[in-house]
Amino acid sequence: AAGVIQSPRHLIKEKRETATLKCYPIPRHDTVYWYQQGPGQDPQFLISFYEKMQSDKGSIPDRFSAQQFSDYHSELNMSSLELGDSALYFCASSLVGGYPSGANVLTFGAGSRLTVL
C-alpha cells in the first residue's frame, strides 16, 4: 500500500540558510499535518491543511511557512535557520471524517532529518 513519502530524508544546512521539505500524502487523503520532533521529544504540531486550505496552526515559527498544492503534496519552507531548528520533521496524512477503520487516523512518513550547523 502507498505510504506518506517525504523528501529529502536528510538535509544539512548552515545557520541563516533556507530549507524546503516535501511531503506526498497517501492518495485520496484530504488532510496533511506537519510535526517537529526534537531529540528525545514528543512530536510538536506545526500546521495542517485540509483540502489545500490551512486548517489548524500550532507552534510554527514565523520563519516557517507551508502550503498544500493542487496535487495535494505539501511543502514546509524554513528560512533564517537556527541551530534549534535541527530536528526530525514528520509529515502525516489522514482522511478526515472517514468511517472505515483505516480512516481518521494519522499515517506518518519516515521523516526528514534537518541538521543546522
Partner 1 sequence: GNSVTQMEGPVTLSEEAFLTINCTYTATGYPSLFWYVQYPGEGLQLLLKATKADDKGSNKGFEATYRKETTSFHLEKGSVQVSDSAVYFCALRASGTYKYIFGTGTRLKVLA
110 binds partner 1 (CB under 8 A): yes
Scanning 11-19, 66-74, 79-87, 89-97 for contacts with partner 1 by CB under 8 A, the matching segment is: 89-97
67 binds partner 1 (CB under 8 A): no
Nearest distance in Å: CB 19, partner 1:
19
Closest listed residue to residue 88, CA positions, set 27, 40, 28:
40
96 binds partner 1 (CB under 8 A): yes
Query: C-alpha distances in angstroms, 2 versus 12, 24, 66, 97?
Result: 27, 10, 23, 20
- What gap in Å lies between CA 108 and CA 31, rounded to an integer? 12
Residues of this chain that interact with partner 1 (CB under 8 A) are: 4, 31, 33, 41-43, 45, 48, 50, 55-56, 58, 90, 92, 96, 104-111
